[in-house]
A and B are shown apart, each in its own frame.
Chain A
Amino acid sequence: MQKKQKIKLIRMVLSGFLFILGATLPLPALGSLILLMASYLIAGYDTLWTAIVNICHGQVFDENFLMALATIGAIGLRDYKEAVFVMLFYLVGTIFEEYAVNKSRGSISELMDLRPDYANLLRDGKEQQVDPYEVAIGDIILIKPGERVPLDGTVIEGCSTLDTSALTGESLPQDVETGQAIFSGCVNLSGVLKLEVSSEFDDSTVAKILDMVENAGSKKAKVEKFITKFARYYTPVVVIVAVLLAVLPPLLVSGQNFSEWISRALTFLVISCPCALVISVPLAFFGGVGGASKSGILVKGSNYLEALANVDTVIFDKTGTLTTGTFKVSQVQAETRSSKELLELAAYVESYSDHPISLSIKEAFGNPLDKSRVSDTEEIAGKGIKAVIDGQTVYAGNSRLMQDLGLESLPANEAATLVHLAVKQQPSGAVNTEYLGYVAITDTVKADAAGAIKGLKQEGVSTTVMLTGDRKAVAEKVAQEIGLDEFHGELLPGDKVALAEQIIGAKTSKGNVIFVGDGINDAPVLARADIGVAMGGLGSQAAIEAADIVIMDDQPSKLSMIMKIARRTLSISKQNVIFALGIKAIVLTLGALGMASMWAAVFADVGVAVICILNSMRALSTKKTAVSVFAPEEKQIRVA
């Protein structure tokens, strides 16, 4: 590439020099003709040659051919200077165009620079550099400081900090230690890590992301389809008009000479290349998709960016989307025993469960559990769990479970998930069931959730809705806290799809409906919405597969950011279309009237292309769309 460009530059200088000499020196006609022709050939020999080769391949409306025809035509009309200048300017234009394309390719590949080149495979105690493709599941690899994590896996030795910015846009390094799962594409910053590989390269996070971004171009936006289709007809039409322009006026109108009209027709030929058009739109979208992924948002196709520019309803899932999905015990209400005892019992009943709620109770209890004290753990579907602890049967569950036991549970005025506890004792044959109290568990609202909703409103979203399977009181609390328009609680997974359908069916405007979920359990809704957005895609393959857009870190505020990027991208692509078509239309009209020279025509061709490329690159920059950082600490939902 470098060498090719250098040669072009040398040709440009040489040809330009000869052109100036030929055009200005007071030489005899033949002398200046020789200089000009030398200049012409130096600037255009490859164009001429490619034109000939492509004609043999049946590529008639090829830009090289059109350029060759236009300039040879000009020579035929003895407009030598014009012919040379057009060829020279065309060369200059392509140099600029290539430079601009390379530059933008460079900045894009920089941000796509996720692909790991090698993995340090440990086999029989020996370290060996191999292609990431050759590593199998269960192999052990070594990641040294400064290296990119080549495959997904679990750390089995060592601790370090990881730079995940390429995946999430998050600039704060993340600490990792033994036992933790890490994702390919991150960069290891400090210590040496030994990793047990958990997926083959093709299934790894980095491969999926690269695949997605690289294939984003295959789902084309409407503007993009329009312009490609337009370009296909544009060239033949302009060429046919050029032919008519050359032939008809001189034949039909008396007093018109051929050479004048042929020269106008040649101007047409120069403008007929659709390159500026073809490059203007896809490039803007590519920049937009690239800019989004730089901020940790993956977009699966230009069409989604286009759709995002016009959204009026956003439906959220609650847990894991607006809330962190990490539960915390917020209150322990004990009736007869101490709070600590109640929490201890709760922790033991739930000791065998991995449910997030159980985990939160165990975390709140804090002490290690002596599992020999627990036996006969049994789940009571939809209601709770029971287990025998130190010889007594303990029940933990919702108020329905307490009803079944014939107990009255304390009224719940707390907007939280409640786990009621009861104990059944049989000291001397008589059954004695006693209500003990409850443990209240709250989810944490994400720090930027309220800001995210505000941001969406600013972007023109009219309705924000939250769907959740959680209790109505909890839903209401969250909805109020972050300022949602609508909420629906106590939904079963099937209800969510039905409700989403209803919302999509009920809307009257043309705006799109976004569904935002965490990609777990809500794949049908993600698919049903106009745009499905999955949160926290990092590590969740299912989310990456099911959604149209993946927000790699967990921030809902990225939604308004991606909408901003989408709108900007769309407007840049429209600017390009209008600009490219406008300039071409103006120059075509002026050309037909004999008021535009070939010089203007060359500008309308390559000049416009270069300007469109430069304009498109603005879509890549996300500085202007960056969101402010919200309070870093997570807020807890609390009821006074």
Chain B
Amino acid sequence: MKRSFKLSELDCANCAAKMETAINKLDPVDSATINFMSQRLTLEAADDKFDEAVDLAQKAISKVERGCKIVR
């Protein structure tokens, strides 16, 4: 499944790049891209692991930029 989420308070371009690298390293995630300008995270993961993937992605994001949240 592939879905795109809005990211709130994504303020720094380098952080977006770091998040993207970190999320792509997560186990349940097949592929992820973060678009800094449109503030969107596009996440691809297996259907049954999708929620887990999103939770892990949120954790990875919080590690890089505290205020940044995936809008679900």
Contacts and interface: CB of A to CB of B under 8 A. Distances in A.
B38 A112 contact: yes
A50 B14 CA distance: 15
Given A228-B17, A275-B14, A214 B38 contact: yes
A104 interface: yes
A109 B39 CA distance: 10
B37 A108 contact: yes
Contacts of A282: 13, 36-37
A232 B16 CA distance: 12
Contacts of B58: none
Given A231-B17, A283-B37, A286-B35, A63 B12 contact: yes
Interface in A272-328: 273-275, 278-279, 282-283, 286
B33 A286 contact: no
Given A50-B66, A59-B63, A108-B38, A215 B33 contact: yes
A217 B14 contact: no
A217 B33 contact: yes
Contact of A63 (B14, B21, B40, B63): B14
Interface in A43-68: 50, 53-54, 57-59, 63
A105 interface: yes
B17 A278 contact: yes
A109 B14 contact: no
A218 interface: yes
A53 B63 CA distance: 9
Contact of B37 (A50, A104, A232): A104
A409 to B, nearest CB: 56
Nearest to A53: B66
B56 interface: no
Interface string B11-28: 111101110010000000
Contact of A274 (B14, B21, B42, B63): B14
B22 to A, nearest CB: 10
Contacts of A59: 18, 63-64
Nearest to A64: B12
A279 B21 CA distance: 16
Contacts of A54: 63-64
Nearest to B22: A59
Nearest to A282: B36
Given A104-B37, A217-B35, A286-B35, A211 B14 contact: no
Contacts of A63: 12, 14
A59 B40 CA distance: 22
A279 B36 contact: yes
A486 interface: no
A157 interface: no
A98 B11 contact: yes
Given A59-B64, A211-B4, A279 B13 contact: yes
Contacts of A1: 9
Given A214-B4, A215-B33, A278 B14 contact: yes
B13 A278 contact: yes
Contact of A218 (B9, B11, B33, B36): B33
Nearest to B31: A218
A57 B60 CA distance: 10
B17 A105 contact: no
A98 B67 CA distance: 15
Nearest to A609: B13
Nearest to B63: A57
Contact of B38 (A58, A109, A228, A231): A109
Interface in B38-55: 38-40, 42
A59 B62 CA distance: 11
A403 to B, nearest CB: 56
Contacts of B11: 98, 101
A57 B39 CA distance: 23
Contacts of A286: 35, 37-38
Contacts of A57: 63-64
A231 B66 CA distance: 21
Most buried by A among B9, B16, B37, B42: B37
Contacts of A231: 14, 17
Interface in A214-260: 214-215, 217-218, 228, 231-232
Interface string A108-127: 11001000000000000000
B13 A105 contact: no
A274 B12 CA distance: 11
A59 B64 CA distance: 7
Nearest to A105: B37
Contacts of B37: 101, 104-105, 108, 217, 282-283, 286
A279 to B, nearest CB: 4
A570 to B, nearest CB: 18
Nearest to B32: A218
A628 to B, nearest CB: 31
A215 B42 contact: yes
A214 B42 contact: yes
Contacts of B39: 105
Contacts of A98: 11
A279 B37 CA distance: 9
Contacts of A274: 14
A282 B16 CA distance: 12
A228 B16 CA distance: 11
Most buried by A among B14, B17, B33: B14
A221 B60 CA distance: 26
Interface string A22-61: 0000000000000000000000000000100110011100
Contacts of B9: 1
Given A214-B40, A279-B36, A286-B38, 6 more contacts: A98-B11, A101-B37, A108-B38, A109-B38, A283-B37, A286-B35
Shortest 4 CB-CB contacts between residues of A and residues of B? A279-B13, A218-B33, A217-B35, A57-B63
8 contacts: A58-B63, A59-B63, A98-B11, A101-B11, A105-B37, A232-B17, A279-B13, A279-B14
